[in-house]
């Protein structure tokens, strides 16, 4: 089964490269990502930089938020 994973790399000593944040069954859209990263804010409360972070993440770029870099990857998982 193919799913979409959000991975993070923080600026910490000996940080693993594939720190799994969450999985999505389908490719996450803007609202999915907004809810995951900025659940406490309404769309009107987001800064321009927050919106660009979400858009770039949706485009498949590795992007930084605070001191952590995030990326989305399609991964295959085996369900037994």
What would the two tokens of residue 69 be?
């870099």
Each residue's pLDDT expressed in tens, for the chain with a length of 80 residues: 899 999 998 876 676 777 899 999 999 999 999 999 999 999 899 999 999 999 999 999 999 998 889 999 999 988 87
Q: In whole angstroms, what is the distance from residue 74 CA to residue 6 CA? A: 9
What pLDDT, on a 0 to 100 scale, did the predictor assign at position 16? Answer: 73
What pLDDT, on a 0 to 100 scale, did the predictor assign at position 67? Answer: 84
Tens-place pLDDT, residues 14-26: 767 778 999 999 9
Q: Comparing C-alpha atoms, which of 34, 33, 31, 40 is closest to residue 5?
A: 33
What pLDDT, on a 0 to 100 scale, did the predictor assign at position 12? Answer: 66
What pLDDT, on a 0 to 100 scale, did the predictor assign at position 23? Answer: 95
The number of beta carbons lying within 10 Å of the beta carbon of residue 33 is 19
């Amino acid at each position: 089964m193919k799913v979409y994973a959000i991975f993070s790399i923080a600026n910490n000593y000996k940080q693993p490269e594939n720190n799994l944040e969450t999985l999505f069954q389908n490719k996450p859209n803007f609202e999915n990502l907004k809810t995951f990263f900025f659940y406490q804010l309404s769309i009107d409360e987001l800064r321009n930089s927050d919106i660009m972070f979400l858009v770039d993440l949706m485009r498949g770029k590795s992007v930084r938020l605070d001191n952590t870099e995030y990326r989305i990857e399609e991964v295959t998982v085996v369900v037994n």
